[in-house]
Amino acid sequence: MLLGVVAGMALGERAVWLKPLGDLFVALIRMVVMPVIFVSLVSAVTSISDLARMRRIACKTLAIYCATMMLSATLAMSLAKAFGIGRGLSYAGHAVVPGVGLDWSSLMPANPIQAMAQGQVLPVMLFALLFGIAVNLSGESGRPVARFFEALNQVIFQLIGMLLRCAPVGVFALMAAVSATSGVGMLAQLGALVGTLYLSCLLVLTAVYGALLFLAGLNPLPFMTKMIPVQLFAFSTCSSNASLPMTLETANRLGVPHAISAFVLPLGSTINMNGLATYLGAVSVFAANAAGVELTVTQMAMVVLTTTLGALGAAGVPGTGLVVMSLVLSSVGLPLEVIAIVAAVDRVIDMINTSTNISGDALAAVLVAKSEAQFDREAYSA
């Protein structure tokens, strides 16, 4: 990032010669968008095949996860719009057409393959959800299909890891091209994005989670205090999966029985991404402001919806946000080139995102245990 800024300011208009390298990186990311959407969502749905056996707990868990992700994305978008992040970037990318609404009649594609080929994000996501449910309802006959998609999901994320190795070159090239016209203003805007996201996540961790605990009749302070060690671990590793053993141990200290935490927390490390939802909500506004367009209410609702669905299929490993970001930006026609710019600060953002993610998992475990009358209040308060 720093080398790109220096090169852009030193080369001036000649820095556009480097832009094809950045465009190639963006093209590689765009290449995997549709496979990621379909395969990861099918894999996420089939991973909760025990829904019939634990229907009540599963439904409560999924409701909490979806609600907190939507709240997180909405909060981040509101702060991003209030602070006007991205407006000073003046990025001349492919802008969304103002006033474009959602054609509700085309949500379910007549031809899913054609929808994938045309990059129709939401129809593909809905088809993937229905397909995954059908696999689960097929019982034993559907298990080979579920295992196939689980393996294919691993292969695709391995492919993504290969592509992200090109990220430094892509970031350098696009940062050079952008800084040639935006200069130090670009660094200021990236700093504003990071600051907005940290503020958003801190508000989610304190105000949102605290309010939900208070509404459940619990004092938020024991939860906040006991989660600090695992939050610090998640902050350093940037991995919900790596933090899972420590989160399970903390959930026990929070009065959650193992029968509930063993179901809620592994599921959460896979599909509950409150920090990622915050990230994607803020970046969508950042990209829109950088492209010089105003998102309509319908488009903002689309961002919240695709952010939630996209986070459901995201893996709990570092760098996932950049991949899911591509499908969220595509859903409202925002320039994917912004991904290469945001990638420069992705690791810094991923740290607070992961802490928010694992805290949301533990919160859901506490709320579900409380609602099931299997909650140890004394252990929680100790």
State pLDDT tens for residues 230-266: 898 888 777 776 788 788 889 989 999 887 887 788 7
Q: How confident is the model at residue 212 (pLDDT cuts 50, 70, 90)?
A: very high
Per-residue pLDDT of 150-189, as tens digits, reads 888 888 778 877 877 777 888 788 778 767 766 666 778 8
Q: What is the mean pLDDT of the chain?
A: 81
CA of 352: how far to CAs of 58, 61, 168, 234, 270, in Å?
Answer: 27, 23, 22, 8, 17
Question: Are the beta carbons of 357 and 273 closer than 8 angstroms?
Answer: yes
- DSSP H or E run through 328: helix 320-331
pLDDT at residue number 92: 44
How much is the pLDDT for 96? 44
Residue in 271, 270, 350 with CA at minimum distance from that of residue 318: 350
CA atoms of 109 and 115, how far apart (whole Å): 6
> Residue 23: pLDDT above 80?
no
Is the predicted pLDDT of residue 24 greater than 90, yes or no?
Answer: no
User: What confidence category does residue 97 fall into, taking pLDDT thresholds of 50, 70 and 90?
Assistant: very low
CA distance linking residue 324 with residue 332, whole number of Å = 14
Distance between CA atoms of residues 198 and 28, nearest Å: 29
The label of the residue with tokens 């595509």 reads 330
Fold of 2-381: Proton glutamate symport protein (1.10.3860)
What is the reported pLDDT for 312?
A: 66
Categorize the per-residue pLDDT at 195 as very low, low, confident or very high, splitting at 50, 70 and 90.
very high
Mean local confidence (pLDDT), 6-25: 80
Question: Structure tokens of 193?
Answer: 């994005």
Question: In what helix (H) or strand (E) does residue 19 lie, and over which residues does it extend?
Answer: helix 19-31
| Eight-class DSSP state of 108 | S
Asked whether residue 199 carries a pLDDT value surpassing 90, the answer given is: yes
325 token code pair: 């970001």
CA-to-CA separations, 19 to 59, 86, 88, 172, in angstroms, rounded = 47, 20, 20, 9
Q: Which of 25-39, 204-218, 333-347 is modeled with the greatest confidence?
A: 204-218
pLDDT tens readout for residues 321-349 = 777 787 788 777 887 778 877 877 887 88
Q: Are 85 and 282 in contact (CB under 8 A)?
A: yes
For the stretch 213-229, pLDDT in tens is 999 999 999 999 999 98
Domain ranges for the chain: 2-381
Per-residue pLDDT of 306-323, as tens digits, reads: 878 776 666 555 566 777
pTM for this predicted structure: 0.72
Instruction: Give the residue-averaged pLDDT of 96-101.
Output: 42
